[in-house]
Amino acid sequence: MIPVEKNKEYTVTIENISSDGNGIAHIDGFAVFVPQTAAGDTAEILIVKVLKRFAYGKLLKIITPSPLRCESDCAHYKRCGGCQLRHIKYDAQLEIKKDIIENAMRRIGAFEDFALDGITGMDKPERYRNKMVFPIGRADGKNVCGFYAQRSHSIIPLTDCAIGDEINGRITGAVLEYMNENGVSAYDESSHTGVIRRVFTRKSFCSGEIMVVISANARKLPKREKLIAKLRNISDKIVSVILNINMKRNNLVITDENVTLWGADRISDTLCGIKFMISPQSFFQINPVQTEKLYQKALEYAEIDNGMSVMDIYCGIGTISLCAAKLAKRVIGVEIVAKAIADAKENAENNGIQNAEFYADSAGNLVPRLIARGETPDIVILDPPRKGSDDATLAAIVKAMPKRIVYVSCNPSTLARDARCLADNGYTIEKSQAFDLFPHTMHVETVLLMSRADNGSVEKA
Ligand code: SAH
């Protein structure tokens, strides 16, 4: 018997926070997830969805607030789906993320006593994002630009987002003005009609340069010179205006088809003293202040010397690889996106780095082949996407018997799973540190150092 009913109100006490940011309460032993609550809140909630093993509730009223609560300083927070923890004090947010990582390592990874060495938060956890994506659509008969509401595709109009740069509000305002003045329509998902889908901005924190990408269901923008003039009028830091063409019925944020409407094709940013050229579709960490700290920790853990070879798997545009190349004898970068590998090669050349090689293919195909052809990396760094690594890649790493493996992860669950696989094959966890690259959201990065437990006597798998 399920002890809760849809559309009924209950009083609950929140016990904890789930890995997707919901408060967890129990009603007669049955788990209920309630967004925008904090451990220690007593609250009135409305049950909005009942599933077999748990239900979702909506916060109606706080009866006793948790001591972890703070006033959210974002006017849009209650409706916007972008942040999940803005109602919780920043120090407590860091504790929540630390617990989530430690629980995943203990429960999924079976590392019973696992404890992080620490979590590094931001000194000023605001306006940290160098990239923003604003969907455009129609609401109440008007073109609107803003953010998707929680778990929906309805757009909340907003001009400023507290984790992005203030200039974004002026950029999105200029795009709406251009649309309204020139009769350029907003894209409509359900009928697959209309033109402008999104505005996407990237900012270099080092140079201040800004790229504006307009995603459109069109090969040409009507009266594009009017849009360019409006954008150029905002700031001379806007150095690149790109049209990203997406004529298909899908929800891709960005496709590979870019046309430069004005200015540069790419912007540059500097991380750890190395200059990177960034294309509209390149992966580049969104919080450069924290990224430098994360990469420095990864390199510190790696203890690279100039006689060593390093393999950087899931290397993107070569960010970690090129930092490592300055310390190592040789670096091999592996990445699935061919364009990112082309950028990585060019970034190496632009920075005068000659001891880094880059290969484009999936890690699962490439790493076993590289190892089979005789590569013997002393150090392996891996920084996979949320789904983690895979059996073929991990088996090949183990076969190569590197001294140290530095795993950079954006998802504690897959980190725990993969670390368990490495531990079962002779590697021991030495050190670990989390970095908050995404304040006010549930996301967190972890760096884990694993070493060969027995200094090389493990049999090759
Ligand atoms: N280390 C880089 C990128 C990390 S993001 C940085 O810090 O900037 C993860 C990267 O893995 C992305 O660039 C993504 O394109 C790549 N990727 C995803 N699946 C992959 C696979 N199966 N094989 C190799 N690379 C993959």
Residue 194: CB within 6 Å of ligand 1?
no
Residue 358: CB within 6 Å of ligand 1?
no
Buried b (16+ CB within 10 A) or exposed e, 139-172: eeeebbbbbbbeeeeebbbbebbbbbbebbbbbb
Please name the helix (run of DSSP H) or strand (run of DSSP E) that holds residue 48, with its range, or none.
strand 42-50
Q: What's the pLDDT score for residue 288?
A: 95
Decide if 344 contacts 318 (C-beta within 8 A). Answer: yes
* Number of the ligand 1 atom closest to the C-alpha atom of 385: 9
* Range in 104-108, 111-115, 456-460 the model is least confident about: 456-460
Q: What's the pLDDT score for residue 281?
A: 86
> Measured in angstroms, how far is the CA atom of residue 326 from the centroid of ligand 1?
21
What is the residue with the minimal CA distance to atom 21 of ligand 1?
362
Q: What's the pLDDT score for residue 157?
A: 85
Residue 269: CB within 6 Å of ligand 1?
no
pTM of the model: 0.93
* Number of the ligand 1 atom closest to the C-alpha atom of 321: 1
Decide if 335 contacts 316 (C-beta within 8 A). Answer: yes
User: Helix 412-423 crosses helix 391-400 at what angle (to 10 degrees)?
Assistant: 40
* 450-459: average pLDDT: 67
Comparing CA positions, the residue from 33, 94, 17 lying closest to residue 438 is 94
What is the residue with the minimal CA distance to atom 1 of ligand 1?
315
Report the helix count and the strand count for the chain, using DSSP H and E.
9, 23
Residue 342: CB within 6 Å of ligand 1?
no
Contacts of 46-54 with C-beta under 8 Å, sequence gap 24+, read: 46/7, 46/8, 46/9, 47/4, 47/5, 47/6, 47/7, 47/8, 47/9, 47/10, 48/6, 48/7, 49/6, 50/2, 50/4, 50/5, 50/6, 52/2, 54/30
Residue 318: CB within 6 Å of ligand 1?
no
* 125-140: average pLDDT: 93
* Number of the ligand 1 atom closest to the C-alpha atom of 410: 5
Residue 319: CB within 6 Å of ligand 1?
yes
Comparing CA positions, the residue from 218, 159, 153 lying closest to residue 184 is 218
What is the residue with the minimal CA distance to atom 5 of ligand 1?
385
Rounded to an integer, what distance in angstroms lies between the CA atom of residue 7 and that of residue 26? 17
* 166-182: average pLDDT: 96
Q: What's the pLDDT score for residue 79?
A: 84
The SS3 assignment for 268 reads strand
What is the residue with the minimal CA distance to atom 18 of ligand 1?
385
Q: What's the pLDDT score for residue 459?
A: 45
> Measured in angstroms, how far is the CA atom of residue 8 from the centroid of ligand 1?
45
Domains and CATH numbers, the chain: 9-69 (2.40.50.140), 131-271 (2.40.50.1070), 287-452 (3.40.50.150)
Q: Does 410 qualify as catalytic in the annotation?
A: yes
* 340-397 residue pLDDT tens: 999 999 999 999 999 999 999 999 999 999 999 999 999 999 999 999 999 999 999 9
> Measured in angstroms, how far is the CA atom of residue 304 from the centroid of ligand 1?
22
Pocket test for ligand 1, best of 253, 314, 319, 343 (most atoms within 8 A of CB): 314
Buried b (16+ CB within 10 A) or exposed e, 312-340: bbbbbbbbbbbbbbbbbebbbbbbbbeeb
- Count of positions (residues) in the chain: 461
Residue 445: CB within 6 Å of ligand 1?
no
Instruction: Tell me which of 74, 161, 315, 410 is the catalytic residue.
Output: 410
The SS3 assignment for 87 reads coil
* 77-95 residue pLDDT tens: 988 888 999 999 999 999 9
> Measured in angstroms, how far is the CA atom of residue 206 from the centroid of ligand 1?
23
Mean pLDDT of the chain: 95
Q: What's the pLDDT score for residue 21?
A: 94
Q: What is the dihedral of CA 188, 192, 196, 197, to 10 degrees?
A: 80
Residue 316: CB within 6 Å of ligand 1?
yes
> Measured in angstroms, how far is the CA atom of residue 432 from the centroid of ligand 1?
21
Pocket test for ligand 1, best of 277, 335, 409 (most atoms within 8 A of CB): 335
Q: What's the pLDDT score for residue 136?
A: 95
Query: Confidence class of residue 449 from pLDDT cuts 50, 70 and 90?
Result: very high
The proportion of the chain whose per-residue pLDDT surpasses 90, expressed as a percent, equals 88
* 274-286 residue pLDDT tens: 999 998 988 899 9
Residue 393: CB within 6 Å of ligand 1?
no
Residue 385: CB within 6 Å of ligand 1?
yes
Q: What's the pLDDT score for residue 460?
A: 41
Residue type, 399: K
Decide if 432 contacts 420 (C-beta within 8 A). Answer: no
* 387-443 residue pLDDT tens: 999 999 999 999 999 999 999 999 999 999 999 999 999 999 999 999 999 999 999
Residue type, 457: S
Q: What's the pLDDT score for residue 458?
A: 46
Q: What's the pLDDT score for residue 455?
A: 55
* Number of the ligand 1 atom closest to the C-alpha atom of 283: 13
